[in-house]
Amino acid sequence: MELHIDVSWILHVTEVAGANDPAPDDYGVPLAAVARHRAELFEQPVYDGPYAKAAALVHTLGRCRWLERSNLAVAAATGVMYLEAAGITVKPTRDHAIALKDLLLDPTCTAGHIAALLRTWPTTT
């Protein structure tokens, strides 16, 4: 299943997870996140599979400042909700959320690192 989301979907997640955060400072970031998770090179997906696509979204939304105070919360929620929309229900614990936050704050963080972390999160069947 090839799942692609759009900017309105990200803005909806922002309303839910970024409660009471003012309007985004930079709408280019969610636009870039949408384009990134859909990226293809020579007609092959750059990010193959739901974990890689979720990680591309999380990386862009979490590393680029576009909200006043809830970038990390919105990035994490976007990853969880994207995986859920792709049919993978994850149940991250507080420790998983802290590990993601720490990874996003690390200047060496990559989408690949995030995908590897997301794959460790427990799923429900």
Per-10-residue mean pLDDT, the chain, length 125:
87 87 87 94 92 97 92 94 95 94 96 97 85
* pLDDT for 1: 61
Please check whether residue 82 is in contact with residue 50, taking contact to mean a CB–CB distance below 8 angstroms.
yes
* pLDDT for 124: 85
**CA-CA distance, 40 to 104, in Å (whole number)?**
24
Assign domain 7-119 to its CATH architecture: Up-down Bundle (1.20)
Predicted TM-score of the model (pTM) = 0.93
* pLDDT for 8: 93
Enumerate the domain spans of the chain.
7-119
**CA-CA distance, 49 to 70, in Å (whole number)?**
26
